[in-house]
């Protein structure tokens, strides 16, 4: 496999190069994930103000670990980089050296299965689950080993299952049925969030999403851990929602049982996908449209895809910003949707939205 030295943030890393990224690459480096790593570093800066214990159970080339050590050394009490692959752990060592760093009491490298690695540890304040595919098999152990006020960062690249292409796989892995609809990516995030939160509940931990996003080929949710038996029990009520999509009109509804006459998905998490206060602070550390869009979007489940609504209700397409402005003039809350470019999130009913769109058509 041809190798190359690249610079990412303050790190210089040797990586395998290939035209197509695949999990068959000897050691996996994906340039599409630079944003994922940029945001992790900003999240660490935002959440913590003293040195913490960091776990990278699927460390790959070690790029995330080297960047943390070079860019925020003041926050590292201990960092452990683990990968099951011998090629990866060799490369992590080489990449540390290349950046003037070495294995010591603070910086640890291991070559174990990620769950065993976590199991053998004393626990961490930040755990990053960043696999190729589903994070599923690593979640329970990671949650158990996460400290109070700790951060669990979860990547899922199996978006096809979560977004409805493989609803049966989704059901098996995430205990929820996915569906192909205009809001499939928001629902994919909500299904993933629910699975993580359900696993947290039986460890008396509330995993509260502070940022959830879909970018290129992956989903990413950053959770803050709150240890509370009372809150954990209450959380269950917000994990039982079904979202129904009417293919004839493009209307949506949120119910406690699926509406079998519609295209439905669930059960899923119906609470907030982001913590707006956290995002405000995050933006002072790192500005990116992914975070800005998340901060701007209204906290309601689902959205109306205005292209679909127009087409299915014989309306002329009007600019999304005009629809949002008109809804706000009528004292409804309304915003763009972070996971669908053409969609509006609003507190207005479908009938009110149609009225507004008709007015704009006149």
Where do contacts with ligand SAM occur on this chain (CB under 6 A)? 27-28, 33, 37, 58-61, 63-64, 83-85, 88, 113-114, 130-132
Torsion angles phi and psi, residue 289, rounded to 5? -65, -30
Nearer to ligand SAM, 17 or 284 (CB): 17
Nearest distance from C-beta of residue 191 to ligand SAM, angstroms:
21
Nearest distance from C-beta of residue 272 to ligand SAM, angstroms:
27
What's the half-sphere exposure (Cβ side, CA atoms, 13 Å) at 29?
Answer: 26
Nearer to ligand SAM, 157 or 310 (CB): 157
Nearest distance from C-beta of residue 129 to ligand SAM, angstroms:
9
Nearest distance from C-beta of residue 115 to ligand SAM, angstroms:
7
124-129 vs 146-156, strand pairing mode: parallel
Nearer to ligand SAM, 88 or 273 (CB): 88
How far is C-alpha 87 from the geometric centre of its chain's CA atoms? Answer: 28
- CA-to-CA distance for 115 and 45, rounded, in angstroms? 26
**Quick one: which of 51, 111, 94, 45 has its CA closest to 76?**
51
Nearer to ligand SAM, 187 or 211 (CB): 211
CB nearest ligand SAM: which residue? 60
How far is C-alpha 305 from the geometric centre of its chain's CA atoms? Answer: 22
Nearest distance from C-beta of residue 286 to ligand SAM, angstroms:
16
What the block records as the tokens of 52 is 């913490």
SS3 311: helix
Q: Where are the alpha helices (DSSP H) in the chain?
A: 34-47, 63-71, 86-98, 114-119, 136-144, 159-162, 167-174, 184-201, 229-235, 276-285, 289-296, 306-312, 320-329, 350-361
Nearer to ligand SAM, 63 or 344 (CB): 63
Nearest distance from C-beta of residue 200 to ligand SAM, angstroms:
21
- CA-to-CA distance for 177 and 259, rounded, in angstroms? 13
Nearer to ligand SAM, 103 or 113 (CB): 113
Nearer to ligand SAM, 116 or 279 (CB): 116
Nearest distance from C-beta of residue 83 to ligand SAM, angstroms:
5
């Amino acid at each position: 496999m041809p190798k190359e030295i690249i610079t990412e943030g303050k790190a210089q890393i040797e990586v395998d190069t290939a035209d197509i990224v695949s999990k068959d690459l000897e050691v996996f480096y994906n340039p599409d994930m630079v944003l994922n790593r940029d945001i992790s570093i900003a999240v660490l800066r935002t959440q913590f103000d003293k040195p913490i214990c960091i776990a990278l159970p699927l460390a790959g080339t070690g790029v995330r670990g080297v960047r943390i050590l070079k860019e925020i050394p003041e926050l590292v009490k201990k960092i452990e980089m683990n990968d099951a692959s011998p090629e990866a752990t060799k490369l992590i060592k080489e990449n540390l050296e290349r950046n003037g760093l070495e294995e010591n009491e603070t910086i640890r490298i291991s070559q174990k299965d990620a769950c065993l690695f976590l199991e053998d540890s004393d626990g961490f304040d930040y755990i990053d689950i960043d696999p190729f595919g589903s994070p599923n098999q690593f979640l329970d152990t990671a949650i158990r080993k996460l400290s109070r006020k700790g951060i669990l960062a979860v990547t899922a690249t199996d978006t096809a299952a979560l977004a409805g292409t493989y609803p049966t796989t989704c059901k098996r892995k995430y205990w929820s049925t996915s569906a192909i609809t205009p809001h499939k990516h928001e629902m994919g995030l909500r299904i993933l969030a629910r699975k993580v939160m359900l696993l947290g509940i039986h460890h008396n931990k509330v995993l509260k999403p502070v940022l959830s996003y879909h970018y290129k080929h992956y989903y990413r949710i950053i959770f803050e851990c709150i240890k509370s038996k009372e809150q954990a029990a209450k959380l269950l009520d917000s994990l039982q929602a079904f979202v129904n999509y009417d293919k004839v009109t493009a209307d949506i509804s949120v119910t406690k049982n699926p509406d079998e006459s519609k295209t439905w998905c669930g059960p899923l998490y119906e609470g907030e996908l982001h913590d707006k206060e956290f995002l405000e602070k995050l933006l002072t550390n790192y500005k990116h449209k992914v975070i800005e869009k998340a901060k701007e979007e209204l906290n309601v489940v689902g959205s109306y895809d205005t292209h679909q609504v127009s087409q299915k209700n014989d309306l002329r397409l009007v600019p999304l910003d005009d629809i949002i402005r008109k809804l706000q003039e009528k004292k409804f809350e309304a915003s763009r949707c972070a996971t669908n470019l053409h969609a509006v999130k609003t507190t207005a009913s479908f009938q009110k939205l149609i009225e507004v769109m008709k007015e704009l058509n006149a």
